[in-house]
Each structure stands twice: as structure tokens, then as C-alpha cells.
């Protein structure tokens, strides 16, 4: 291919995104973020990477210009001797930035140390009694982290007398012990500057996961539910995710409660959950494996948020 043709194809490329840290710099960074979150809080809050079943990849027809851009990426990379690291999907980056803007526009809710974070989720992967069950779980976690909380788990549509818990029950109440610093206060302390939060997550996940990008996205994934309570932190998490190559848009996505929206997924070695957002408001609905049904601040265990 002559230089003029190569230059023409190169014009189709999107503008380059912000580079990730070089490998020699990454090796000097230490493991901060997860140690701060997991050592001081309930270990269930940020779960370690777990094996996941691989999903079938969807084949999507792309416009001619997009296809030409992909050819240009291949040609320019081959001609320049660049690395084979994945490049950012510009459609996903644009959507993440729109979601971040919508999240930042929400109002934060003032809290007191004597209150509780209420969350209600519906999931598809409760492993119990040798089976995988669909379930709903409601948590009351103390803001101060110094008192016990409570989790109520209900298996959905179990066979008669065939629930997975003691004596065939389909419900379980589980006390949650005090652990000093709560999930709420830990999230509250995270940087709200996207660059600083990205650097913190990237440093923490050095050497973890099937790839560094996968481990960073898994960390963000674990924070999204409760980050809804912090508009600035939520926005920073989405903008940090936009800096990590490998995220792509799922035009038609469904969360674990059956709600439809637009999705974002990351596939690199092992896939993560698909994040699902309301198509109109861009509110975070949860994932295809755990839907966020409700979250808020309440005064006592057993209470639900107003409205």
C-alpha cells in the first residue's frame, strides 16, 4: 500500500485516548486500593476474582466506516511496530462519559453514623446445597461499622419443601458482624478525581486477574452498587472505566430482574458481568447476574427507604 492510501485510512481512526501507565511504571506501584477496602471492611464487599462461565460473543454488523477504521488500526499498528494491547472502543467511552455526567447530576444523601445503608438486590447465582438458585437479598449495613447488620436472603421459586437452607427453608436471616470501618465510609473516602481514582485502581490491580485490564474492571464492578449513594464517586468510577481498553456497548441488555436497557461489557480472557443502564435516564440498574432493586439510607434494621 502506498503512503497516500495509508494516510487516507489513518484519517478514519478515532483520536487517541489517554495512555495507560507504561509497564516499567506499573511495576513500581503498590497494592493500595484493595488493601484499604478489603482489610478494613467486610470481605464480602469486594470479592476476589472468581471463575465465570464464558458467554457467547455477539456478532454485530458494523457500518462500512467502522470497518474501514478497524482496517486502519491494523495497518497502522503493523507498520509502526506498536504493541498488541487492546484499544479503547470509542462508542463505549462516549457512553461511559454520558453515564458519568448523569450520575454526577444526582444529589447526595446526608447520613448519620447511627443509620444503616439499605440495599435490595436480585441475583441468579446463589451457590447453596450443590445448586445455583435465583434469589433476593436485603442488607442493612451500619454506617459506623461498629454495630451488627443483617442480611435477609430469599430463594425465588424453590420446589415445595426443597429450599437450600436448614430444614428445607427458602429464607435465611444472617447477622453481619461489626468490622470497624463501614463500606459507606470507605467509599466516601475514595478519590472523586477520575485520573486519581484510575491510578489508584490500576496500581492496586497490578499482577492480578487473567489480565491487568480485567482485574481493574472487576474492582470497579464490585464498587458500583453502593457507589450509587455517592454521585461524585460514581461518576469518577465510570470515567475511570472509560480509560480501560476492552469495554464494549451491548445495545440490548437485560438485568437479573428482567429489566431492559443499554449495557456495557468487558471481555478479555474471562468476561465480567454486563452492566445495565436505563436507556432514558442512564440510571444504573445492576448487572445481568445481580440487579440493584433499591438502595438508600434508613434509621433501623427492618426499615425500607421512603418512597
Quick check: is 16 in a domain? Answer: no
Q: How many domains does the chain have?
A: 1
76, 79, 84, 87 alpha-carbon torsion, rounded to 10° = -10
What cell does 250 get? Answer: 451491548
User: What is the predicted pLDDT for the residue at 63?
Assistant: 38
Quick check: is 242 in a domain? Answer: yes
Quick check: is 255 in a domain? Answer: yes
- Tell me the percentage of the chain whose pLDDT exceeds 70: 69
Query: Does the pLDDT at position 254 exceed 90?
Result: yes
Query: Does the pLDDT at position 56 exceed 90?
Result: no
Nearest to 240 by CA among 70, 105, 88, 24: 88
Q: Rounded to two decimals, what is the model's pTM?
A: 0.71
Kindly tell me the number of DSSP H helices and DSSP E strands found in the chain: 9, 10
Q: What is the pLDDT of residues 152-202, one digit of tens each?
A: 999 998 887 688 888 888 999 999 887 766 789 889 999 999 999 999 999
Q: Which structural domain range is residue 205 located in?
A: 90-108+183-288
**Within its chain, how far is the Cα of 167 from the centroid?**
36
Nearest to 14 by CA among 80, 96, 64, 87: 87
Quick check: is 147 in a domain? Answer: no
Quick check: is 28 in a domain? Answer: no
Q: In the chain, which ranges are E strands?
A: 116-128, 131-142, 149-155, 171-176, 247-254, 260-268, 270-271, 275-277, 284-287, 290-298
Quick check: is 84 in a domain? Answer: no
Sign of the four-CA dihedral 127, 301, 175, 217: positive
Quick check: is 200 in a domain? Answer: yes
Quick check: is 149 in a domain? Answer: no
Pick 65 or 191 by higher pLDDT: 191
Pick 171 or 21 by higher pLDDT: 171
Amino acid at each position: 500500500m502506498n503512503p497516500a492510501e495509508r494516510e487516507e485510512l489513518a484519517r478514519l481512526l478515532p483520536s487517541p485516548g489517554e495512555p495507560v501507565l507504561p509497564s516499567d511504571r506499573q511495576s513500581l506501584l503498590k497494592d493500595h486500593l484493595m488493601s484499604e477496602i478489603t482489610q478494613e471492611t467486610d470481605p464480602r464487599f469486594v470479592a476476589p476474582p472468581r471463575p465465570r462461565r464464558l458467554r457467547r460473543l455477539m456478532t454485530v454488523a458494523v457500518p462500512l466506516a467502522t470497518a474501514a477504521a478497524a482496517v486502519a488500526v491494523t495497518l497502522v499498528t503493523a507498520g509502526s511496530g506498536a504493541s498488541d494491547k487492546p484499544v479503547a472502543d470509542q462508542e463505549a467511552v462516549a457512553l461511559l462519559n454520558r453515564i458519568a455526567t448523569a450520575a454526577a447530576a444526582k444529589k447526595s444523601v446526608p447520613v448519620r453514623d447511627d443509620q444503616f445503608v439499605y440495599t435490595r438486590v436480585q441475583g441468579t447465582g446463589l451457590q447453596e446445597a450443590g445448586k445455583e438458585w435465583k434469589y433476593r437479598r436485603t442488607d442493612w449495613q451500619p454506617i459506623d461499622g461498629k454495630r451488627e447488620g443483617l442480611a435477609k436472603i430469599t430463594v425465588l421459586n424453590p420446589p415445595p419443601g426443597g429450599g437450600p437452607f436448614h430444614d428445607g427453608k427458602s429464607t435465611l436471616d444472617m447477622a453481619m458482624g461489626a468490622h470497624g470501618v463501614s463500606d459507606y465510609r470507605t467509599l466516601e473516602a475514595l478519590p472523586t478525581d477520575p485520573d486519581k481514582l484510575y491510578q489508584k485502581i490500576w496500581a492496586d490491580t497490578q499482577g492480578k486477574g487473567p489480565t491487568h485490564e480485567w482485574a481493574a474492571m472487576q474492582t470497579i464492578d464490585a464498587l458500583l452498587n453502593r457507589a450509587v449513594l455517592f454521585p461524585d464517586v460514581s461518576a469518577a468510577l465510570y470515567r475511570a472505566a472509560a480509560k480501560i481498553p476492552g469495554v464494549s456497548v451491548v445495545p440490548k441488555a437485560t438485568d437479573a430482574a428482567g429489566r431492559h436497557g443499554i449495557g456495557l461489557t468487558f471481555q478479555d480472557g474471562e468476561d465480567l458481568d454486563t452492566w445495565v443502564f436505563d436507556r432514558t435516564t442512564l440510571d444504573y440498574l445492576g448487572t445481568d447476574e445481580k440487579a440493584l432493586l433499591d438502595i438508600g439510607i434508613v434509621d433501623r434494621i427492618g426499615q425500607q427507604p421512603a418512597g
